């Protein structure tokens, strides 16, 4: 996502690259859930960065169904350090927070009982749909200053957002998502959530996206310096990760939100502190 | 202002008080927590084995067909939502064994059709406690609050928070203590000594 590549690639190319990102993972059944004499083997899976764990892990439940007590119990995941993975965050964000690109496949443990107390209950796929649409609604409230643009989507268009995500269909998703962008790339506030590695805490501020001339988008670097002056004042060396890569600090923030957000329309940034 | 509200409730309505809880020194890592929980009897689920059983069950008004401990516990907190820049009412709802209610079970605790509650109450992560919670959608109140804030006659004291609580009271399982309204009245009409003049509230 360096600015050099942006001159060659179109916005559509970038959006497709964001959409297609995957994390190779290997899932092991938690020892507490094994009911068979021999523990089952581990399960390898490619996890789409832009999706959510409950959507793409039904095959995990199927794979381990012969080894667990109850096939209908609530499934949840932890990483190799025993940290619970909150399904309501996009998979790519979870990996950027807790995984490491030098340590693949991402090692996960699956549990079928004792839902961790910090994980939201997820009794059905509709729970994920509602969570996703609420975030999209909030993100668009921030962008446009009111909910009108989002609530004026027809039921079919809203369903396309969700079904496109659920069925991993870029075309179906972006057909509707395009309608949530304003014609002239105007935004009232940029929907951004800023995280730091190894933590679920995040920062969300009201961020005006334009310079004083009201037409030039602020850069990523400028926004970070405003929101986190300690880490990003001149000369300091925090790094900002988006979808596992480091965009140039001169990237316009409006462009970054329009093309590199997660499907919920929030731009998620993970700060990597230099040791 | 939230802390002042908490202090007011602690001195005026000790059995319905709120406390400010600060989780960390960081900005916006605090919220108002209602000190007492409220309990909602869950509607018993009746599964007659055959149609004639239903007749006998209807006659039996006295007995409670559900499990004896079928009540839900609701605990409330108010936190600032950075997206909507508004106060938002959050709550946890649990079964008597401590397990959390699902969204659809929570909707059933209201008189309305459960499906109508979908745009009013939803599950979320609590922004301060970072744990499972539920919230009352702020969109419905933001328009009203905008109108109120444009009215210069509203002083900056507790009036906004009390008015906001009144607006969302239909979806709360606790009622607002009447004595708060006396307090609200005296804030809006500082010239009155006892603050019980209901006509002046009508002028508003």
Per residue in B152-178, pLDDT tens?
Answer: 655 567 777 888 888 888 889 998 888
> pLDDT band for position A139 (50/70/90)?
very high
pLDDT at position B66 is 45
Tell me the average pLDDT across A160-183.
94
pLDDT grade for B43, boundaries at 50, 70 and 90: low
| Alpha-carbon Rg for chain B in angstroms | 20
pLDDT of residue B125: 95
Instruction: Give the pLDDT of residue A102.
Output: 95
pLDDT for B163: 81
Q: How many CA atoms lie within 13 A of A268 on its CB side?
A: 26
Q: Is A237 on the interface with B (CB under 8 A)?
A: no
Contact yes or no for B136/B121 (Cβ under 8 A) = yes
| Best mutation target, B83, B86, B128, to test chain A (most A CBs within 10 A) | B83
Least confident span in A100-104, A140-144, B141-145: B141-145
Q: In chain A, what percentage of residues exceed pLDDT 90? A: 83
pLDDT confidence bin for B29, thresholds 50/70/90: confident
- Does the structure show a pLDDT above 80 at A215? yes
Q: Residue A3 above 60 pLDDT?
A: no
pLDDT for the residue numbered A230: 82
Residue B76 pLDDT exceeds 50: yes
In the block, residue with structure tokens 């942006």: A6
What percent of chain B shows pLDDT beyond 70?
70
Q: How confident is the model at residue A274 (pLDDT cuts 50, 70, 90)?
A: confident
**B79 — pLDDT class (breaks 50, 70, 90):** very high
Cβ-nearest to B103 among A127, A139, A206: A127
Q: What is the pLDDT of residue A224?
A: 93
CB B130 to CB A120 under 8 A? no
Chain A partners of B82 at a C-beta cutoff of 8 Å?
204-206
Closest chain B residue to A203 measured between Cα atoms?
B82
pLDDT category of residue A94 using cuts at 50, 70 and 90: very high
What's residue A172's pLDDT?
97
Q: Report, as an integer, the average pLDDT of A192-205.
A: 94
| Predicted confidence band of residue B2 (pLDDT cuts 50, 70, 90) | confident
- Residue B83 pLDDT grade (very low, low, confident, very high; cuts 50, 70, 90): confident
Predicted local confidence at residue A157, as pLDDT: 95
3-state SS of chain A is CCHHHHHHCCHHHHHHHHHHCEEEEEEEECHHHCCCCCCCCCEEEEEECCCCHHHHCHHHHHHHHHHCCCCCCCCEEEECCCCECCCCCCHHHHHHHHCCCCCCCEEEEEECCCCCCCCCCCCCHHHHHHHHHHHHHHHHHHHHCCCHHHHCCCHHHHHHHHHHHHCCCHHHHHHHHHHHCCCCCCCCCCCEEEEECCCCCEECCCCCCECCCCCCECEHHHHHHHHCHHHHCCCCCCEEEECCECCCCCCEHHHHHHHHCCCCCCEEEEEECCC
**Does pLDDT of A24 surpass 80?**
yes
**Rounded Cα–Cα distance for residues A126 and A114 (Å):** 22
Q: Does B40 have pLDDT greater than 70? A: yes
Give A181's contacts (C-beta < 8 A, 6+ positions apart): A258
**Is B82–A206 a contact, with Cβ atoms under 8 angstroms apart?**
yes
Residue B13 has pLDDT above 90, yes or no: no
Residues of A in contact with B118 (CB under 8 A): 130
Split at pLDDT 50, 70, 90, the class of B61 is: very low
pLDDT of residue B60: 42
Quickly state the pLDDT bin for B70 (edges 50, 70, 90). Answer: confident
pLDDT at B154: 55
Residue B180 or A223, more confident = A223
pLDDT at res. A214: 86
Least confident range from A5-9, A101-105, B22-26, B64-68: namely B64-68
Looking at per-residue pLDDT, the higher value among A155 and B41 belongs to A155
pLDDT at B199: 42
| Interchain pair A88, B102: CB under 8 A | no
Q: Are A263 and A140 in contact (CB under 8 A)?
A: no
| Chain A residues lying within 8 Å of B139, measured CB to CB | 141, 147
**Alpha-carbon gap: A38 to the closest alpha carbon of chain B (Å):** 32
The mean pLDDT of A95-122, rounded to a whole number, is: 96
Q: Check residue B151 and give its pLDDT.
A: 64
**Binning pLDDT at 50, 70 and 90, where does residue B196 land?**
very low
Average pLDDT, integer, range A234-263: 89
A131/B124 touch (CB, cutoff 8 Å), yes or no: yes
Residue of B nearest to A118 (CA): B131
Split at pLDDT 50, 70, 90, the class of A220 is very high
Q: Residue A1: is its pLDDT beyond 90?
A: no
- What does the CA dihedral A273, B82, B23, A220 come to, rounded to 10 degrees? 10
Q: Do B124 and A201 touch (CB under 8 A)?
A: no
For A28-42, A73-87, A219-233, B41-55, which range has the lowest pLDDT when averaged over its residues? B41-55
């Amino acid at each position: 996502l360096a600015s050099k590549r942006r001159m060659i690639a179109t916005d559509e190319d970038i959006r497709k690259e964001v959409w297609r990102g995957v994390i190779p993972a290997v899932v092991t059944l938690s020892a507490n859930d094994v009911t068979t004499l021999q523990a089952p083997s581990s399960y390898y899976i490619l996890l789409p960065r832009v999706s959510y764990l409950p959507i793409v892990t039904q095959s995990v439940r199927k794979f381990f169904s012969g080894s667990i007590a109850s096939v209908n119990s609530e499934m949840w995941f932890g990483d190799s350090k025993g940290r619970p993975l909150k399904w309501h965050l996009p998979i790519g964000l979870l990996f950027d927070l807790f995984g490491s690109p030098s340590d693949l496949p991402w090692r996960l443990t699956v549990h079928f009982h004792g839902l961790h107390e910090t994980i939201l209950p997820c009794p059905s796929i509709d729970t994920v749909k509602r969570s996703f649409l609420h975030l999209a609604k909030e993100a668009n409230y921030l962008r446009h200053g009111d909910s009108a643009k989002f609530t004026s989507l027809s039921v079919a268009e809203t369903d396309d957002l969700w079904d496109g995500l659920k069925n991993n269909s870029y075309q179906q998703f972006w057909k509707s998502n395009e309608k949530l962008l304003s014609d002239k790339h105007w935004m009232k506030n940029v929907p951004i959530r800023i995280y730091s590695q190894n933590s679920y805490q995040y920062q969300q501020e009201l961020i005006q996206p334009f310079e004083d001339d009201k037409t030039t988008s602020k850069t990523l670097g400028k926004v970070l310096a405003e929101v986190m002056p300690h880490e990003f004042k001149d000369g300091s060396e925090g790094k900002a990760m988006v979808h596992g890569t480091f965009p140039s600090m001169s990237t316009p923030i409006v462009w970054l939100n329009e093309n590199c957000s997660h499907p919920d329309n929030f731009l998620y940034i993970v700060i990597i502190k230099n040791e | 202002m939230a802390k002042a509200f908490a202090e007011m409730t602690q001195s005026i309505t000790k059995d319905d008080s709120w406390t400010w809880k600060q989780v960390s020194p960081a900005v916006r890592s605090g919220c108002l927590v209602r000190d007492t929980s409220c309990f909602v009897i869950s509607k018993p689920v009746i599964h007659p084995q055959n149609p004639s059983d239903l007749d006998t069950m209807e006659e039996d008004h006295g007995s409670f067909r559900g499990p004896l401990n079928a009540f839900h516990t609701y605990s409330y907190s108010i936190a600032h939502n950075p997206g909507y820049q508004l106060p938002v009412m959050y709550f946890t709802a649990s079964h008597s064994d401590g397990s959390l209610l699902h969204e659809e079970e929570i909707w059933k605790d209201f008189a309305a059709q459960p499906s109508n509650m979908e745009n009013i109450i939803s599950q979320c992560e609590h922004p301060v406690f970072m744990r499972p919670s539920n919230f009352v959608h702020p969109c419905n109140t933001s328009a009203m609050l905008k109108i109120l804030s444009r009215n210069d006659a509203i002083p900056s004291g507790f009036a906004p928070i009390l008015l906001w609580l009144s607006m969302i009271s239909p979806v709360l399982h606790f009622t607002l203590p009447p004595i708060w309204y006396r307090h609200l009245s005296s804030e809006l009409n500082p010239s009155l000594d006892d603050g019980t003049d209901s006509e002046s509230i009508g002028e508003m």
